[in-house]
């Protein structure tokens, strides 16, 4: 819950009157201080974020029983495509072991609706654009993508065998204030403001379906309310943008030009992502509203404020 998307979803649910409690293991994949700062923001709203791992089924079971939990929103995972090349065992523990642990809790309380984060990375080497939920997803380009695909298959099995309601949401490049330091928006903003080169892979010839955090939260909360029996749904902006445009918007918001370090394509990366969101529109009334230019302006404004304080 002290993660980027988890923080925003928790706030969204709390503000409309839901009881919300969360867990986070506060690992050091990126700056723990940022996670602790997010947890402090949650605490101000009366949302507890307990220092617990998703692999600790006993503690999660106790929380469910104590608070009469009706929905389990699972947004915890070891993130990052490139890091999965360095520490694959971390992905197995968090994204596979932890996932099954949570489903085993749901197995004990089968009325709980399980909503979980999947990823556009499941589409892997698929070249067809835009990516549709009906597309082939058996050729992952990274271990991270493979674990997310495994989550979808495991969730389907638990639904089939134990009738657990499961909804997987395939997120497409989520960004915004309080975002992750390993993502392009943060790295580029930081380096541009500090006068350092930014790493630009494949000479900038890449496209991403950048999706602003507020739009993602709308989709997640709609999925919570619907509580489908078993669904997979894309949540993206349906408007892929060139990496060069992302850089230009950050330059404008920072008031400085980037020093570009042009690099080859990275292992595990893909050239383009684009979400087909017809299903999200139909089932969730999902309609992305924030443009990349506006979203980046908001992010850079937040980043300057956050780094001045921290």
pLDDT tens digit string along 197-209?
A: 999 999 889 999 9
pLDDT tens digit string along 28-74?
A: 999 999 999 999 999 999 999 999 999 999 999 999 999 999 999 99
307 in any annotated domain: no
Instruction: Please answer whether residues 152 and 168 qualify as being in contact, where contact means their C-beta atoms are separated by less than 8 angstroms.
Output: yes
Phi, psi of 13 (to 5 degrees): -70, -40
Strand partners, 259: 197
- Predicted TM-score (pTM) of the model is 0.96
**Per-state percent for the chain, helix, strand, coil, to nearest 5:** 50, 15, 35
295 in any annotated domain: no
Return the structure tokens found at 308: 């001045």
pLDDT tens digit string along 85-115?
A: 889 999 999 999 999 999 999 999 989 999 9
Specify the pLDDT at position 289. Answer: 97
215 in any annotated domain: yes
- The burial of 45, by beta-carbon neighbours within 10 Å (0-12 exposed, 13-18 middle, 19 or more buried), is given as exposed
Q: Is the pLDDT of residue 309 over 80?
A: no
Specify the pLDDT at position 274. Answer: 96
Q: Is the pLDDT of residue 118 over 80?
A: yes
Specify the pLDDT at position 84. Answer: 84
Specify the pLDDT at position 202. Answer: 92
Specify the pLDDT at position 53. Answer: 96
Specify the pLDDT at position 82. Answer: 78
- Which residues, including other chains, have CB under 8 Å from residue 212's CB and lie 6 or more apart? 174, 175, 176, 237, 288, 289, 290, 292, 294, 295, 298
Q: Give the Å distances, CA to CA, from 129 to 15, 246, 250.
A: 37, 20, 26
Domain count, the chain: 1
- Return d(Cα 221, Cα 191) in angstroms, integer: 34
Specify the pLDDT at position 304. Answer: 97
Task: Give Cα 67 to chain centroid, integer Å.
Answer: 26
Specify the pLDDT at position 178. Answer: 98
- Return d(Cα 276, Cα 290) in angstroms, integer: 17
Specify the pLDDT at position 7. Answer: 98
Specify the pLDDT at position 33. Answer: 97
Return the structure tokens found at 24: 């986070």
33 in any annotated domain: yes
198 in any annotated domain: no
Confidence of residue 83 (pLDDT cuts 50, 70, 90): confident
Specify the pLDDT at position 269. Answer: 84
Name the active-site residue from 8, 123, 144, 158. 144
29 in any annotated domain: yes
- To the query of whether residue 109 is one of the catalytic residues in this protein, the response is no
- Return d(Cα 91, Cα 150) in angstroms, integer: 11
CATH number at residue 35: 3.40.50.720
Domain that holds residue 160: 4-180+210-240+272-290
Question: DSSP string covering 107-122, please?
Answer: HHSTTSEEEEEEEGGG
pLDDT tens digit string along 214-268?
A: 999 999 999 999 999 999 999 999 999 999 999 999 999 999 999 999 999 888 7
Specify the pLDDT at position 303. Answer: 98
- For the chain, strand residue ranges (E) read 21-24, 48-51, 71-74, 113-119, 166-171, 174-175, 197-201, 207-208, 211-212, 230-235, 241-242, 259-263
148 in any annotated domain: yes
Specify the pLDDT at position 127. Answer: 86
- What SS3 class is residue 100? helix
pLDDT tens digit string along 163-206?
A: 999 999 999 999 999 999 999 999 999 999 999 999 999 988 99
Q: Is the pLDDT of residue 310 over 80?
A: no
Task: Give Cα 92 to chain centroid, integer Å.
Answer: 18
250 in any annotated domain: no
Among 120, 138, 135, 131, which Cα is nearest to 269's? Answer: 120
Confidence of residue 81 (pLDDT cuts 50, 70, 90): confident
pLDDT tens digit string along 4-37?
A: 999 999 999 999 999 999 999 999 999 999 999 9
Specify the pLDDT at position 267. Answer: 80
């Amino acid at each position: 819950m002290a993660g980027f998307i988890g923080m925003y979803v928790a706030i969204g649910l709390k503000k409309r009157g839901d009881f919300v409690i969360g867990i986070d293991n506060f690992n050091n994949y990126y700056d723990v201080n940022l996670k602790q700062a997010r947890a402090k923001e949650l605490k101000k709203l009366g949302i507890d974020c307990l220092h617990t791992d998703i692999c600790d089924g006993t503690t999660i079971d106790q929380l469910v029983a104590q608070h009469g939990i009706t929905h389990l929103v699972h947004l915890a995972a070891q993130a990052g495509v490139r890091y999965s090349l360095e520490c694959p065992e971390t992905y197995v523990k968090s994204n596979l072991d932890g996932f099954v642990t949570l489903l085993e809790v749901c197995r004990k309380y089968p009325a709980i609706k399980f909503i979980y984060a999947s990823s556009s990375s499941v589409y892997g080497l698929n070249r067809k654009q835009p990516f549709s939920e009906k597309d082939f997803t058996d050729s992952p380009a990274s271990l991270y993508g493979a674990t997310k695909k495994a989550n979808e298959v495991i969730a389907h099995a638990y639904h089939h065998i134990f009738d657990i309601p499961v909804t997987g949401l395939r997120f497409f490049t989520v960004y915004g204030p309080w975002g992750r330091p390993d993502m392009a928006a943060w790295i580029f903003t930081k380096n541009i403001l500090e006068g350092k080169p930014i790493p630009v892979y494949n000479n900038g010839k890449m496209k991403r379906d950048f999706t602003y955090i507020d739009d993602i939260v709308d989709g997640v909360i709609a999925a919570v309310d619907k509580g489908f029996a078993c669904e997979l749904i894309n949540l993206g902006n349906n408007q892929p943008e060139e990496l060069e445009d992302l850089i230009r918007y950050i330059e404008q918001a920072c008031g400085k030009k980037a020093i570009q370090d042009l690099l080859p394509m990275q292992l595990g990366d893909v050239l383009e992502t684009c979400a087909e969101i017809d299903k999200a529109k139909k089932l969730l009334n999902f309609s992305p509203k924030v443009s990349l230019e506006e979203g980046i302006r908001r992010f850079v404004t937040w980043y300057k404020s956050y780094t001045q304080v921290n």
